[in-house]
Chain A
Amino acid sequence: MSIPLQPAIARLETPRQSGFLSSLSRIPGIGIAGIKAFFAGQRYIGAILPLVILGLWQASSSFGWIEPVFLPAPLKVVQAFWYMLTRQDLLMDIRASVFIIAQAFVYGTLLGVGLGFAAGLSRPVELFFGGTINTLRHIPTVAWIPLIVVWLGLGAPAKIVVLTKSIFIPVFLNTLQAIRGVDHNFIELAQALKLSRRQLIRRVIFPAIVPVVMITLRYSVGLSWALVVVAEGISGLEGLGFLIFRAQNLLMTDQLLVCMVLIGLIGYGLDRLLYLTQRRLLRWQRGFGGSYA
């Protein structure tokens, strides 16, 4: 008898209960509930810290906590950015740096995955390269720069070579390890299904190592982007690294900060690209999302 009434009650209650209240608590700054909702919104949570840092920065110059030579005001930095963009060749410099990391990324990845596969699928190849690469691994990338610059000059090629190496080595080693770690049960399954060697590689081994390779790529691209800056600073005539060290020498702190922010943002962008690729490639994985209640 009361069953027909229920939809009507639901209709009456829904807009008042969940509609109004929840839309109210979605507005940030409204009590504890509002703050909670803001954090639960999660999308914006990552913007809090940068805004706080920016606020402190602005405050420190407004109240004169730090001398402008050491830390110019945010607005000064924006102006410097505009100046560098319109009066200097900032875009060219950005392009030079990105060009280096992009090429090194492509070459390093192809070489690392390719040779890692070759070594992973053949013991002789592993034995042939393994020891050498494991030794070269211990020479820091920065230590390679002087020699390669002597050979190839101050231009992009020397840096591309050095950074290709810095991406190649971890990708090679981890690809090899990941292949060694492929579940033997899957190899047995491939045998039972009469897969050819090619099919085994394409259907089993390659997808099995994608998670490790993607993590390695993200890690080593981050590291290599930092090394681009170092390499350009040590020896170069263009690029963000060159600008940042030049700005230091000329005590142009505003330009220095422009470069720092750009380096950070570009690095973030590169990682983001890889992260999205990783997520796409690993749709099949169901890992730990972070919430645990």
Chain B
Amino acid sequence: MLEVRGVTRRFGDFTAIEDTNLSVREGEFITIVGASGCGKTTLLRLIAGLDQDYTGEIALRGQRIAGTSLERGIVFQEPRLLPWLTLWDNVAIALDNAPLSPSAKKEAIAAQIALVGLTGFEQAYPAALSGGMAQRAAIARALVGHPSILLFDEPLGALDAITRMRLQEELLRIWQHEGVSMILVTHDVEEAVFLSQSIVVMDSHPGHVTANIVVDLPFPRDRSSAEFGAVRREVFGALHDNAAVKPPEIEYLI
């Protein structure tokens, strides 16, 4: 459904990403992994339509991308909630221009807030939310307009390990519930293997795709299984080819 073909983005003399290709099927969950600075955010911003200064081709369902669209929901690395709006209004703002009746909007917002498990906090201001709750609210905001693809830029990167694991499970649940395509940028290999059907590995100088690893494991995945470990090693291997990245020795005691 989403096709990125031969995309190059330069900032002056600096080439952030070069001749990058990517494709996402309808309802597919892919992750992009790569070291910091390899152009993941740059690529995601291009897909989101926040940046249109590129050469190449990005098309969603055959339509060349021109600017932002509610078809493509985005969750940033930080929650980016408007501090002067309640949680409810922060989600509702995504429907400001939706052609829906007020009651349909209300229903959609309440349902989305429930889906991310924030029922009861509708009237809270962002200052009163924990990092995990704020990021869930940001996910609800991105989802409420029912986009056909969701873009995540390291949304869980700033959270503690336990909250991150819980939100990974919730992302999976939301993905299965909504049937939406997802592109998740992360630098956490385990997260990528746990969540996605396909992992795109990127390298820098200039940013480009070096590998595309299909993860053919059933959901939900067991982080301690041998198959999981094998895919992890494969991804680390791909990253290792890029630079001197070694898989950490982790033993799971679950």
Is B82's CB under 8 angstroms from A207's CB? yes
Is B82's CB under 8 angstroms from A204's CB? yes
Q: How far is the CA of A194 from the CA of B93 in the complex (A)?
A: 10
Chain A CB count within 10 A is highest, among B84, B93, B94, for B84
| Interface 9-residue window, one of A12-20, A61-69, A182-190 | A182-190
B70 within 8 A of A: yes
Q: How far is the CA of A185 from the CA of B74 in the complex (A)?
A: 13
Is B69's CB under 8 angstroms from A185's CB? no
When distances are taken between beta carbons in the complex, the residues of chain B under 8 Å from A196 are 97
Residue-wise, chain A 200-218 has the 8 Å CB interface mask toward B (1 for contact) of 0001100110100000000
When distances are taken between beta carbons in the complex, the residues of chain A under 8 Å from B157 are none
A193 within 8 A of B: yes
- Which residues of chain B from 68 to 105 have a CB within 8 Å of any chain A CB? 68-70, 74, 76, 78, 80, 82-85, 93-94, 96-97
Residue of B nearest to A287 (CB): B127
Is A195's CB under 8 angstroms from B96's CB? yes
Is A286's CB under 8 angstroms from B128's CB? yes
Is B50's CB under 8 angstroms from A191's CB? yes
Is B84's CB under 8 angstroms from A284's CB? yes
Q: How far is the CA of A195 from the CA of B69 in the complex (A)?
A: 10
- Which residues of chain B from 138 to 183 have a CB within 8 Å of any chain A CB? 141
- Which residues of chain A from 104 to 135 have a CB within 8 Å of any chain B CB? none
Quick one: which of A192, A207, A210, A284 contacts B68, CB cutoff 8 A? A192
Is A192's CB under 8 angstroms from B93's CB? no
Quick one: which of B69, B70, B84, B96 contacts A207, CB cutoff 8 A? B84
Q: How far is the CA of A194 from the CA of B95 in the complex (A)?
A: 10
A283 within 8 A of B: yes
Interface residue count on the A side (C-beta < 8 Å): 20
When distances are taken between beta carbons in the complex, the residues of chain B under 8 Å from A42 are none
Q: Least Cβ distance of B87 to chain A in Å?
A: 11
Residue of A nearest to B151 (CB): A192
Q: How far is the CA of A188 from the CA of B70 in the complex (A)?
A: 13
Say whether, besides A188-B50, A193-B70, A286 and B127 are in contact (CB < 8 Å): yes
Residue-wise, chain A 252-291 has the 8 Å CB interface mask toward B (1 for contact) of 0000000000000000000000000000000111100000
Q: Given contacts A192-B48, A194-B68, list 11 more A-B pairs with CB under 8 A.
A: A185-B76, A186-B82, A191-B50, A192-B50, A193-B141, A195-B97, A203-B82, A204-B82, A207-B82, A210-B84, A284-B126
Which 9 pairs from chain A and chain B are nearest by CB?
A286-B127, A207-B84, A284-B125, A284-B84, A192-B68, A192-B74, A191-B68, A189-B80, A193-B94
**21 A-B pairs in the complex with CB atoms less than 8 angstroms apart:** A185-B76, A186-B80, A188-B50, A189-B76, A189-B80, A191-B50, A191-B68, A192-B50, A192-B68, A192-B74, A193-B93, A194-B70, A195-B93, A199-B96, A199-B97, A203-B85, A203-B96, A204-B82, A283-B125, A284-B127, A286-B127
